Amino acid sequence: MNHNRSSVSNPDVWTKLSVLLTVLVAMSGSVKCQDPASGNVVWSEEFDGDSIDRSIWTHDVGGHGFGNGQLEYNTRRPENSYVRNGSLVIEARRESYGGNAFTSARMHTQGGFAFQYGDLEARIKLPDTADGIWPAFWMLGNNFPGTVWPKCGEADILEIGGKDGIEKGLQHRKINCALHFAGVDEQKTSLVQWFDAPADLHLDYHLYRISWTPKHMKFLLDGKEFGSWDITSPEMKEYHQPYFPILNVAVGSWTTSYTGLDTPEKISATLPARMHVDWIRLYGNKDTKVILGNKSSE
């Protein structure tokens, strides 16, 4: 896999930067980007090793539907998540496991990496989603689960496989970004924007990014903005705290939820279905804060 480190091309410089970042976090609990104009990489996961880095990644394990009626049992088994050829692979499979008809994986960095403000980008090749596969690259507030959802806040950078895409024959192109939070009077509020990509996204790698400042959250596909929200109002307070990223491939959901496909017989997607993640990188701005481990200045 081609890893284009355009921001830090010298491996020695990259190593020194990583060591310096770790030392600063250990000393102060957090790091602020000192070069706001550069947009330098201040944290990255390149998946260059032979296995998943357990100091960064944690698996959510279970088959309870995760609030959406999902049909898969998420495991930490190597059959469902592994590193191969420089990419993380999350693999959904049709197999009976734990009382569910499918297996997959759901991975997050809480306790290993979180951040507040900056541009988080991943290079991802999506699986064939037609019909019933629901991949996502998203974030939750780092105060979860102590602060319950949606009060913790959620930001979805990429989702695909929704029932609207199924109905319109755009399963491989219709993506969305979304914010879910406790809005006015702490009532659940969801903001969603949809975009029809110009090409089928499961055929190659593409770049999915959130650009986050104290004023806005913007969402981009291959550098093209397809969603944006102003987050300066008091009702958007959830978006002024650290978040951690999540990667998962869900299968199905309640009829009222994302895919609208609620039984194993309705899942017609070709399985196994694999999402490949080449890398994830955080580019800093003047307000960026990085948290490694459980250390925080807050």
Task: Determine which one of 45, 91, 121, 159 is catalytic.
Answer: 159
Are 241 and 235 in contact, with CB atoms under 8 Å apart?
no
SS3 category, 283: strand
Half-sphere exposure of 219 (CA within 13 A, CB side): 23
Annotated catalytic, 159?
Answer: yes
Pairwise CA distance, residues 292 & 240, whole Å: 18
Non-local (6+) Cβ contacts of 119 within 8 A are 39, 209, 210, 211, 212, 282, 283, 285
Number of H helices, E strands in the chain: 2, 20
Task: Determine which one of 45, 72, 91, 154 is catalytic.
Answer: 154
Annotated catalytic, 95?
Answer: no
Pairwise CA distance, residues 115 & 45, whole Å: 14
Pairwise CA distance, residues 108 & 60, whole Å: 8
List, by residue number, the catalytic residues.
154, 159
